[in-house]
């Protein structure tokens, strides 16, 4: 007996009813994987997702206006704090070593069966860039909405657009979007000797069918 293949819309109805968002970080010293852990989100990241969907493209007739996505100005930092748990109100990590990565690489990835989509960021500090330190937290910074909008706002004119006049819709700025912290039990604090090895922080934002 020949089994009839299901139509694509039937498969979508069965399998694409729920999706899951997750943020996962991997940290390497040289080529050695130190840990893999899920991050905690800030309210600014959550707000920006809603605003991105609810907002329309805004046009301001003052100079040139262009759109900068959430990865415009994206960066990461390591920190030394080992006792402070993460909270949605955080706009920065607690004890930041304020040294930017030497290189940042971004990729957009999708599975052939359309069940998983990934935005991947690879932040790398070369040997000699960071000081010798105890790493207890890591943060990813993205251009996010300011989260000062009123609940139930109609037709929001917000977003991450900026122009040559300095216009920034929605009080958008580069803020802490996600944090991975030893205080949350995500990993054990580790000693990093910056003069010897590079440090690589690979972060993935994933949207998956569940």
The pLDDT of residue 83 is above 90: yes
47-63 residue pLDDT tens: 888 888 877 655 555 55
Q: Kindly give, in sequence order, each residue whose CB lies less than 8 Å from that of residue 49, ignoring residues fewer than 6 positions away.
A: none
**For residue 7, is it within any domain?**
no
**Phi-psi sector, 36: left (phi>0), alpha (psi -120 to 50), beta:** beta
**For residue 4, is it within any domain?**
no
**For residue 52, is it within any domain?**
yes
**For residue 80, is it within any domain?**
yes
**For residue 88, is it within any domain?**
yes
67 — pLDDT class (breaks 50, 70, 90): low
**For residue 12, is it within any domain?**
no
Q: 197, 127 in Cβ contact below 8 A?
A: yes
Residue of higher predicted confidence among 153 and 182:
182
Q: Which DSSP category does 168 fall into?
A: B
Average pLDDT for residues 72-80, to the nearest whole number?
95
Instruction: Give the total number of structural domains in the chain.
Output: 1
* Domain around 36: 17-209
Lowest mean pLDDT: which of 76-80, 169-173, 180-184?
169-173
**For residue 32, is it within any domain?**
yes
9-28 residue pLDDT tens: 665 555 566 889 999 999 99
Q: 178, 40 in Cβ contact below 8 A?
A: yes
**For residue 3, is it within any domain?**
no
pTM of the model: 0.85
């Amino acid at each position: 007996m020949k089994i009839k293949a299901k139509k694509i819309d039937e498969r979508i109805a069965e399998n694409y009813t729920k999706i899951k968002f997750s943020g996962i970080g991997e940290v390497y010293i040289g080529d050695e994987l130190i840990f893999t852990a899920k991050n905690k989100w800030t309210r600014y990241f959550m707000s920006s997702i809603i605003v991105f969907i609810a907002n329309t493209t805004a046009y301001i007739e003052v100079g040139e206006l262009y759109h900068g996505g959430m990865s415009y100005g994206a960066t990461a930092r390591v920190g030394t704090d080992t006792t402070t748990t993460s909270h949605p109100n955080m706009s920065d990590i607690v004890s930041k070593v304020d040294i930017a990565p030497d290189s940042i690489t971004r990729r957009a990835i999708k599975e052939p069966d359309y069940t998983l989509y990934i935005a991947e960021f690879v932040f790398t500090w070369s040997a000699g860039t960071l000081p010798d330190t105890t790493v207890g937290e890591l943060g990813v910074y993205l251009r996010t909405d300011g989260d000062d909008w009123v609940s139930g706002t109609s037709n929001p004119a917000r977003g991450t657009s900026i122009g040559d006049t300095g216009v920034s819709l929605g009080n958008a700025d580069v803020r802490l979007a996600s944090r991975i912290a030893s205080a949350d039990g995500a990993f054990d604090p580790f000693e990093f000797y910056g003069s010897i090895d590079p440090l690589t922080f690979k972060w993935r934002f994933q949207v998956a069918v569940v």
